[in-house]
């Protein structure tokens, strides 16, 4: 990845609105409350990539995500008058927990707005961390709608909005992650060649790249978005922030329709040292399961973005790469969906609409003549009879190997039983599954 390691360039005299000195001051400000998280070497991923892979374990914060850094840094600097009027915040879940923790720790009343899709686990943790100091308001289909509700609240009440990513104090706080990474590697006699950062609103990315620009200019920074919510890439192509029409909310911690104005400005000014890419939600699920089964790390979807990107990067042998595991707030009830998405991504799970001739033995024929020896039926739902001759069933199949799929289709084509493959992303697939 040597092409990513050239120093950044600026279109103006100011490299960014955030500097390493700001982040070092924030470290001093929050160090009594925010734990320094481990930088953990990962043998498995190092073997797979040929690089030296380290995991920055922000999932081990008290609130299980890095968001507490920016939230506490911002709230701790409020004036007495601002504290008396209270605060409001909008979040997909993790920022809310950081805000809740800060409210209870500093004795400040707060109202936190989260979108409808926020997992129950995150809602419950917000209440635990905030206690009696926080009121949770669930509203809107996306973070953008929840943020609008929080802004309305602030205008009515005079409360201070604590931004999850698009505010200088928040970005400065998030940048302390990079300060720790550089310090931890230095203590081992190493330096970071690449830091891989999950991206939602780009607050963490802005803080990391700002610190690196001043303190480790040879380090490349990779920002990773979910494919279904790539708002930063859309903004860079557009020449400025724009609102996406829709986002896939599965990677809830990074499902942001519009990148921040300040975060965009910082990213745009540092493009010379940045590489931005996106990864599919299915690939994220596969990596979540691998992290759990191999390293025992329970990560949320956004927390696995950085590790997922390793498979997309041209890493050099021995290159020192740090992946930020940004959060571990995952609801155990989501694992069925995570496994499903992973199987589909790996080409092992497929769905078909099958028209069975209404004659004896047709199901036996499907099982014996069409299915391979290592294929399993995971779903069989008889939908309706089209007429007297045929009846339609929704059939889910799990293959022994993704390479078996072409042969399966060939056997289906050769059969008198009509089988139609439902492809992910189509309205029929989304409706039926």
pLDDT tens per residue across span 58-103 = 999 999 999 999 999 999 999 999 999 999 999 877 899 999 999 9
CATH number at residue 356: 3.30.70.260
Residue 13 has pLDDT above 80, yes or no: no
Which residues have a Cβ under 8 Å from the Cβ of 235 and sit 6 or more positions away?
Answer: 241, 242, 258, 259, 264
Give the domain-ending residue among 150, 165, 180.
165
87 and 215 together in one domain? no
73 and 198 together in one domain? no
**Residue 33 to residues 63, 136, 319, 379, 402: CA-CA distances in angstroms?**
12, 23, 33, 50, 48
Q: What is the pLDDT of residues 316-359, one digit of tens each?
A: 999 999 999 999 998 888 899 999 999 999 999 999 999 988 88
Looking at per-residue pLDDT, the higher value among 6 and 323 belongs to 323
323 and 228 together in one domain? yes
Weakest mean pLDDT among 9-18, 76-85, 155-164, 194-203: 9-18
261 and 118 together in one domain? no
Which domain covers residue 355, as residue numbers? 347-432
43 and 179 together in one domain? yes
**Residue 386's pLDDT band (cuts 50, 70, 90):** low
DSSP E strand stretches across 60-115: 87-90, 110-114
Q: Does the active-site annotation cover 67?
A: yes
> What SS3 state is found at 288?
helix
Closest by alpha carbon to 232, among 174, 274, 288, 178? 274
153 and 13 together in one domain? no
pLDDT of residue 392: 87
**Total number of domains in the chain:** 3
CATH number at residue 71: 3.40.50.1100
Residue 15 has pLDDT above 60, yes or no: no
pLDDT of residue 352: 95
Which member of 67, 122, 257, 349 is catalytic?
A: 67
pLDDT of residue 174: 98
Answer whether 0.95 is exceeded by the pTM.
no
Tokens 């399966």 -> residue: 408
pLDDT of residue 332: 85
75 and 121 together in one domain? yes
Q: Does the active-site annotation cover 11?
A: no
Residue 393 has pLDDT above 80, yes or no: yes
Q: Rounded to whole angstroms, how far apart are CA atoms 73 and 68?
A: 8
366 and 402 together in one domain? yes
> What SS3 state is found at 420?
strand
pLDDT (average), residues 38-47: 98
Q: Rounded to whole angstroms, how far apart are CA atoms 239 and 141?
A: 27
Give the domain-ending residue among 340, 369, 395.
340
135 and 43 together in one domain? no
244 and 367 together in one domain? no
Provide the percentage of residues in the chain whose pLDDT is more than 70. 94
Residue 355's DSSP bridge partners are 392, 418
218 and 304 together in one domain? yes
Q: What is the pLDDT of residues 144-165, one digit of tens each?
A: 889 899 999 999 999 999 999 9
pLDDT of residue 12: 38
pLDDT of residue 388: 61
Closest by alpha carbon to 199, among 220, 153, 169, 230? 230
16 and 152 together in one domain? no
Give the domain-ending residue among 116, 145, 165.
165
Which member of 65, 142, 210, 326 is catalytic?
A: 326
**Residue 120's pLDDT band (cuts 50, 70, 90):** confident
């Amino acid at each position: 990845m040597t092409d990513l390691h050239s120093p950044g360039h600026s279109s103006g005299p100011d490299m960014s609105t955030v500097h390493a000195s700001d982040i070092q001051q924030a470290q001093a400000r929050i160090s009594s409350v925010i734990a320094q998280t481990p930088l953990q070497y990962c043998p498995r991923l190092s073997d797979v990539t040929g690089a030296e892979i380290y995991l920055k374990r922000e999932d081990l914060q008290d609130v299980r995500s890095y968001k507490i850094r920016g939230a506490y840094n911002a709230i701790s600097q409020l004036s007495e008058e601002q504290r008396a009027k209270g605060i409001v915040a909008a979040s997909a879940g993790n920022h809310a927990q950081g805000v809740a923790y800060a409210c209870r720790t500093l004795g400040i009343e707060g109202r936190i707005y989260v979108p409808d899709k926020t997992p129950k686990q995150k809602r419950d943790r917000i209440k635990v961390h905030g206690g009696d100091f926080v009121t949770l308001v669930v509203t809107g289909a996306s973070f953008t709608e929840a943020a609008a509700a929080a802004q309305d609240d602030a205008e009515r009440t005079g409360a201070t909005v604590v931004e999850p990513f698009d505010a200088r104090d928040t970005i400065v706080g998030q940048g302390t992650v990079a300060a720790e990474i550089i310090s931890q590697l230095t203590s081992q006699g190493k330096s970071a060649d690449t830091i891989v950062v999950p991206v939602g609103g780009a607050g963490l990315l802005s803080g990391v790249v700002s610190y690196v620009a001043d303190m480790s200019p040879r380090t490349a920074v990779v920002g990773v978005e979910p494919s279904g919510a790539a708002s930063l890439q859309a903004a860079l192509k557009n020449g400025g922030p724009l609102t996406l029409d829709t986002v896939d909310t599965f990677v809830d911690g990074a499902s942001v329709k519009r990148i921040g104005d300040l975060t965009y400005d910082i990213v745009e000014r540092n493009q010379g040292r940045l590489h931005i890419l996106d990864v599919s939600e299915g690939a994220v699920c596969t990596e979540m399961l691998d992290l759990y089964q191999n390293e025992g790390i329970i990560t949320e979807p956004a927390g696995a973005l950085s590790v997922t990107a390793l498979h997309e990067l041209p890493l050099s042998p021995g290159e020192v790469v740090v992946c930020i595991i940004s959060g571990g707030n995952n609801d155990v009830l989501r694992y069925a969906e995570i496994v499903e998405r992973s199987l589909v991504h790996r080409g092992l799970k497929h769905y078909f609409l099958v028209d069975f001739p209404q004659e004896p033995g047709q199901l036996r024929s499907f099982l014996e003549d069409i299915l391979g020896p290592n294929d399993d039926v995971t779903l069989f739902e008889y939908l309706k009879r089209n007429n007297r001759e045929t009846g339609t069933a929704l059939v889910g199949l799990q293959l022994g190997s993704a390479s078996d799929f072409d042969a399966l289709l060939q056997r289906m084509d050769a059969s008198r039983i009509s089988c139609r493959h439902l492809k992910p992303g189509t309205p029929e697939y989304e409706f039926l599954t």
